[in-house]
Amino acid sequence: PRERGWVVPHIYKYHGVWHTPAQLRGVLALHQHFQAQDSDILLVTTPKSGTTWLKSIMFALMNRSRYPKSEQHPLLKTNPHVLVPFLEIKLYANKELPDLASFVSPRLFCTHLSCTTLPNSARDSACKIVYLCRNPRDTFVSLFHFSNKLRTPNLPPNSIEEVFDMFCEGASVYGPFWDHVLGYWKESLRKPQKVFFLKYEEMKEQPTLHLKRLAEFLGCPFSKVEEKEGVVGDILELCSFGNMSNLVVNRGGRLESGEEHSAYFRKGEVGDWKNYMTEEMVQRLEKISEQKFKGSGLCL
Ligand code: A3P
């Protein structure tokens, strides 16, 4: 049921988290077959929080010695979603199980799974988790646009009010949004060596600082020589919104799963919510955030 594109009338709650039927099939297969290894890196995000961006950054970071300043860099001709596949939406989405033997260690995977539905091996092994989220206002606006990109063209567009109501009620894919973020926030406080918590807004504001922190967390810090040679800036430039959205591969065509490459690149800004949300909507989101995050120290 892709009719409404992520705003489907029948999404299912599994362990407190909402999924489309297709996602749920992937989640169940993943639970049955995926075994995290100690050396794995999992990028976990809430939908529309900048997953595509962080996929490209982490791929570039972790493969920087293989592709130093190269015109052959895979990111120039391959969408980040292909280079860093989603576990439940891509690898475990088909009938045949994926052959993960071809992934070189450290394996880098992505998922939108909530803390409560992560496979045990991911929780119990020493694998590291990089978590990315974004303020609920921009997340919602991005989700609203994305839902209309994915829906079947002959159906009328989803209205912003309808998507907003579902988002607030928690009934958006992988929602409730607040529970998702809070779960990983608490884990990052409990196990800072395992969970690295990052906000889209922080990354936009101080990309160099956070890229260096990320490299240290992943155990591959930039050397003095690399810093001098501008490697940090090169990665950020390669993965910038302007560069990535202009690459031929990301302007035309579709991913194997059907989405247009361009659906993942819209504005890439902080604060676009001001162009879409009424004061009433802002207040409603604020109120939910206040209630949900109360006492947690988390602010989005
Ligand atoms: P907007 O819809 O606000 O523009 P995801 O990758 O999790 O689906 O998130 C998509 C959001 O990240 C979109 O936000 C998209 O434009 C933005 N984005 C994609 N690539 C980006 C990049 N390289 N830098 C910053 N933002 C990016």
From the alpha carbon of 132, which atom of ligand 1 is closest?
A: 7
Is residue 9 predicted with pLDDT exceeding 70? Answer: no
From the alpha carbon of 267, which atom of ligand 1 is closest?
A: 4
Write out the catalytic residue numbers. Answer: 112
Is residue 1 predicted with pLDDT exceeding 70? Answer: no
Q: Residue 80's pLDDT is what?
A: 94
Q: How far is CA 236 from CA 198, 233, 290, in A?
A: 16, 5, 33
Q: How far is the CA of 41 from the centre of ligand 1 (A)?
A: 21
**Mean pLDDT, rounded, of the chain:** 92
Helix axis angle for 136-150 and 279-293, nearest 10°, is 120
What phi, psi does 198 have (nearest 5°)? -135, 145
- Of residues 273, 275, 297, the one with CA closest to residue 285: 273
Question: pTM, whole model, 2 decimals?
Answer: 0.95
pLDDT tens by residue, 12-64 = 889 999 998 889 999 999 999 999 999 999 999 999 999 999 999 999 999 99
Q: How far is the CA of 269 from the centre of ligand 1 (A)?
A: 8
Helix segments in 195-277, DSSP class H: 200-205, 207-217, 224-229, 231-238, 241-246, 248-251
The DSSP output letter for 159 is P
Coil vs helix vs strand at 135: coil
Q: Residue 2's pLDDT is what?
A: 42
Of all residues in the chain, what percent are helix, strand and coil, respectively (each to 5)?
50, 10, 40
- Distance from C-alpha of 157 to C-alpha of 165, rounded to nearest angstrom: 15
Q: Ligand 1: which residue has its CA nearest to atom 22?
A: 241
Q: Ligand 1: which residue has its CA nearest to atom 8?
A: 48
Average pLDDT (130-140) is 98
Q: Residue 8's pLDDT is what?
A: 58
**For residues 141 and 266, is the Cβ–Cβ distance under 8 A?**
no
Q: Residue 158's pLDDT is what?
A: 86
| Domains identified in the chain and CATH numbers | 12-293 (3.40.50.300)
Is residue 5 predicted with pLDDT exceeding 60? Answer: no
Would you say the ipTM is above 0.90? Answer: yes
pLDDT tens by residue, 263-274 = 899 999 999 999
Return the best residue to mutate from 58, 173, 241, 259 for the ligand 1 pocket (most ligand atoms within 8 A of CB).
Answer: 241
Q: Ligand 1: which residue has its CA nearest to atom 24?
A: 241
pLDDT tens by residue, 197-222 = 999 999 999 999 999 999 999 999 99
Q: Residue 4's pLDDT is what?
A: 52
Return the best residue to mutate from 43, 48, 235 for the ligand 1 pocket (most ligand atoms within 8 A of CB).
Answer: 48
